[in-house]
Structure 1
């Protein structure tokens, strides 16, 4: 394909109406001809501007090709012989008008496809947002807890119906003592669980917890303590 033939096909290329082999031939020349690329940019801008000037309509499959073919037929039919022979104008001189005619004819399809893609993208984004919201709502609350050389986290169910205490570095309680986990809030301090320490990772199942609690903490309590209020030293705590 020579440069003049490629220039003639630029309008169809800008609208995506070329066959794959024709498009590939045009692209090879576009890669080596800056002037051709500049002309193509003008056609692309004209097609985009015209596309957004139309109301969206739904066209059946193949409508773009039929519209383009009809435009070509009308352009051919409108060409009548002049009374006297005159020099033919170069193809490049009429190419912009042909490009605008094709762009105008196919603009409805371009906008419809663009809007359909935008709607699908929005629906996908909304679905993803809903999925993330549901996922976050189902995730447990995570409260870091640390102190006295130990650290871990308290995982609380979204509805506060249960929880888990996961700790590392808390040694077994001294003889005659145990550890007590408390929740704290407007109600004061309330026992959540008692447990022994461990040389390794420690996991403690927790019961339903108060929704109004503001923090949780661990104390070292003497065995036999009533468990209605903390008596021993505080060793670990979540952020206040």
Structure 2
């Protein structure tokens, strides 16, 4: 494996989600590329605290940009590729925000009933994905944070008016769709949210 292939597997390695064969390959590669051990150690420390309350701490310089760049580059992912990106995002947020809801979404990606749906801007650019489980819970994973002074707001889409759901500031948000909602959209809103979408950010396609 080359260094970038190793980096792509480090989040799953840290979570203990690799097969014994894959784990062995990563460990052999880390011996060949000792410069990757720092990044591996940071991710493993975050993974160890996923289920515990942690105090927000500054990220190592450049780590957030590296993780988010890998999320941004993904266009037509396989389920396995999305597992890597979701794991990376979980670990990033665990480091910086103390996220408590661990790896349940990672394992949901292995279920055949789980859907991974694209969100596109009004101009047609892919700006995120929605992971939708059979129980109507959803994880929204976006390519960026909202502009200053704005928040994201999720909307449940049905055959009538959009249903206002939660507002959020981070590029990850878990929520539960009401029974009548068939899909999820995201808009940019003033803090506190709106009753109707004002600036569309991502629509299902």
Q: Tell me the TM-score range normalised by the shorter chain.
A: 0.3 to 0.5
Q: Which has the higher helix share?
A: 1
Q: TM-score, normalised by structure 2?
A: 0.39
Q: Which has the larger radius of gyration?
A: 1
Q: TM-score, normalised by structure 1?
A: 0.34
